[in-house]
Amino acid sequence: MEKIISGKNIAVNEEGYLTDFSQWNKEIGEALAKEANITLTPRHWEVLAYLQESHKNEIPLSIRKVGKSGVVDIKEFYELFPQGPLKTATKIAGIPKPVSCI
């Protein structure tokens, strides 16, 4: 399945998560954030970079793990990504939805 994001055909699954991380770039991230009504700040980018790094290292993600990462605490994570922080942040980061998310 494909979706046009930022003028490019991007491979996504039925929930809108990218299925090919190599297609992700900051422009795509910005467009996905806009869809979620989020304006990305440098703080958002720090969290997104952490999520992408964890994904590359095959570290399973959960809200608790992100909260203990030292990158962002749970309260701030919810402030940055108010509507389901882990689901929203991983979608913007271009990585698969974590197994811990419903």
Is 54 within 8 Å of 61 (Cβ atoms)? yes
Mean pLDDT of the chain: 94
Q: How far is it, in rounded angstroms, from Cα 81 to Cα 50?
A: 14
| DSSP one-letter code for 22 | G
pLDDT band at 100, cuts 50/70/90? confident
- The per-residue pLDDT for 8 is 93
91 is catalytic: no
Note the pLDDT tens digit of each residue in 40-70.
999 999 999 999 999 999 988 999 999 999 9
Is 44 within 8 Å of 93 (Cβ atoms)? no
Residue from 28, 31, 71, 101 carrying the catalytic annotation:
101
pLDDT above 90 as % of the chain = 91
pTM confidence score:
0.94
pLDDT score of 11 more than 90:
yes
pLDDT score of 28 more than 70:
yes
In 3D space, the residue among 69, 76, 38 whose CA is nearest the CA of residue 93 turns out to be 38
- The per-residue pLDDT for 102 is 67
- The per-residue pLDDT for 99 is 73
Burial 14-27 (b: 16+ CB within 10 A, else e): eeebbeeeebbeee
For 27, list phi and psi in degrees, rounded to 5. -65, -45
